[in-house]
Amino acid sequence: MSLAGVTCLVTGAGGFLGQRIVHLLLEEEEALAEIRLLDKVFSSETLMNFARYKGKAEVKILEGDIRDAAFLHRACQGISLIIHTASIIDILGHVEKQLLWEVNVTGTQLLLEACVHSNVQYFIYTSSIEVTGPNCRGDPICNGDEETAYESSLTFPYAETKRQAEKHVLKADGQALKAGGILQTCALRSMYIFGEGSQFLQNHLDQSLLNKNIHLRTSRKEALVNPVYVGNIAWAHMQIAKALKDPEKAKQIRGQFYYISDDTPPMSYADLDYELTKELGFGIEPQLPMPLVMLYYFALLLESLSFLFRPFFRYIPSTNRHLVNLMNTQFTFSYKKAQRDFGYVPHYTWEEAKQRTGQWIASLIPQRREYLKNKTA
């Protein structure tokens, strides 16, 4: 099944994952009829990257706010497929809860309403592993799947907004469209995404450069997770989009969520940073800066200070209990259901992903050194 002749809207098209999905769409052998790229703002560099692809598909750039219902209705006119990656990611509490909810949840609801009004047939939502957990107790999961029972206790705003948005998406499956037919929806729960262009990896690189090329040990070595390469999660979106067009496969996919990982070896978040840079001469601290229990209560102390200072000024702690649990809980999942239902297999091997990401990091080092030198001067 191909996407030939499909009209597709990608939200968050200027973001880390959105750009990779757009590149895959533009590289399709049988061209889409039209690709609309929606984001609040696009950098000139991003637009130049898109311009390199001289595909047959018509490309339209749409800059606007996902909270603007009228804008979304215009954007969805004539569209048959939506890949919804747009969201605000916030792990430290930099973003006000209301804004997170408005963009991640209300924005998704408005987009679903626009689908019904504009007769969009297919809707793919980029969800997150954080809608599952880990919970506040740090209960582990090893090689879990979509049937694995887990007592979630989402208290951090970002995780809760992603879970609520996913619920709205899956509940909307089967909803009648204005001109007939039904809306078909599904969600991909991505693991932590790494690869070229990752702002998180750039931030971690800056920290290690300031620490004399030594990565901070932010997670225990035994806290295994299975990160996914950006090229592979983008590939999963393409595979499920094609499967939705197949009536038989669509029966299995509709209203379902899927965990998407790849063949990256399970490792801790901190050890991923090290694996991607060790050939560049980087090392890693051997242990956490303090015992895990102490680290948890240190995070609680910082959160308490933030609460006490709130009437006077806004203090954002450098860590929090949710992040400590997230970074130090074993939490791995299989992609076998995605493989069975819509034929997902990773497009890139771990060695390819590591090489590509490592080359990108190597290219960043001179400019980041200069930036940090000027910043600390």
Alpha-carbon dihedral 62, 63, 66, 71, rounded to 10 degrees: -60
Of 52-66, 90-104, 153-167, 338-352, the poorest mean pLDDT is in 52-66
pLDDT band per the 50, 70, 90 thresholds, residue 94: confident
**Residue 314 · residue 156 · CB < 8 Å:** no
Q: What are the tokens at 218?
A: 């932010």
What is the rounded distance in angstroms from the CA atom of residue 82 to the CA atom of residue 111? 9
Reported confidence tier of residue 93, pLDDT bands at 50, 70, 90: confident
Average pLDDT over residues 132-151: 93
Residue 222 CB neighbours (<10 A): 10
Report the pLDDT value the prediction gives residue 377, as an integer from 0 to 100. 65
Exposed/middle/buried for 247, CB within 10 Å: 0-12, 13-18, 19+?
A: exposed
SS3 246: coil
Residues in the chain: 377
Q: What would the mean pLDDT of 208-216 be, rounded to a whole number?
A: 95
Active site residue 158: yes
- Cβ contact 16:193 at 8 Å: yes
377 DSSP assignment: -
Question: Which whole-number Å values give the CA distances from 264 to 47, 219, 229, 261, 349, in the listed order?
Answer: 30, 18, 8, 8, 8
Whether the pLDDT of residue 18 is over 80: the answer is yes
Once rounded to an integer, what is the mean pLDDT over residues 147-154? Answer: 87
Domains and CATH numbers, the chain: 7-197+228-265+333-349 (3.40.50.720)
| Cis amide bond preceding 134, omega within 30 | yes
DSSP state, residue 10: E
- Which tens digit of pLDDT belongs to each residue from 261-314? 999 999 999 999 999 999 999 999 999 999 999 999 999 999 899 889 888 888
pLDDT at 54: 63
Tell me what the mean pLDDT of segment 14-43 comes to.
92
The predicted-structure confidence for 325-352, as pLDDT tens digits, reads as follows: 999 999 999 999 999 999 999 999 999 9
Strand pairing report for 34-39 and 58-63: parallel
Least Cα distance to 175 among 116, 253, 109 occurs for 116
pLDDT at 47 over 80: yes
What token pair was written down for 51? Answer: 């311009």
In this predicted structure, the answer to whether residue 355 has a pLDDT above a threshold of 70 is yes
Inform me whether the pLDDT recorded for 119 exceeds 70. Answer: yes
In the prediction, which pLDDT does 235 show? Answer: 98
Residue 89, burial from CB neighbour count under 10 angstroms (0-12, 13-18, 19+): middle
pLDDT tier, 58 (very low <50, low <70, confident <90, very high otherwise)? confident
Rounded percentage of the chain residues whose pLDDT exceeds 70? 99
Q: Quick check: 360 pLDDT over 70?
A: yes
- Tell me which of 122, 125, 158, 274 is the catalytic residue: 158
pTM assigned to the model: 0.95
Round to whole Å and give the CA distance between 306 and 149: 34
pLDDT digits (tens, 9 = 90+) for 163-194: 999 999 999 999 999 988 999 999 999 999 99
Q: Is pLDDT at 29 greater than 80 in this prediction? A: no
How does residue 354 score in pLDDT terms, banded at 50, 70 and 90?
Answer: very high
Specify which residues 83 forms β-bridges with: 10, 124
pLDDT at res. 127: 97
Phi, psi of 233 (to 5 degrees): -70, -35
CA distances from 83 to 25, 87, 170, 314, 353 (A): 11, 12, 14, 35, 23
Q: Are 369 and 213 in contact (CB under 8 A)?
A: no
Within 8 A by CB and 6+ apart from 296, the residues are: 321, 324, 325
Query: In this model, does residue 154 exceed pLDDT 70?
Result: no
Handedness of CA 96, 100, 106, 110 (dihedral sign): positive
Write out pLDDT tens, residues 231-253: 999 999 999 999 999 999 999 99
At 311 the pLDDT is 87
How far from the centroid of its chain's Cα atoms is residue 206's Cα?
Answer: 21
| CB proximity list for 3: less than 8 A, separation 6 or greater | 25, 28, 30, 32, 81, 238, 241, 242, 245
Token pair listed for 119:
């007769």
Res 87 pLDDT > 70: yes
Closest CA to 86 of 113, 118, 108: 108
- CA contacts within 13 A on the Cβ side of 107: 25
55 pLDDT higher than 80: no
Residue-averaged pLDDT of the chain: 94
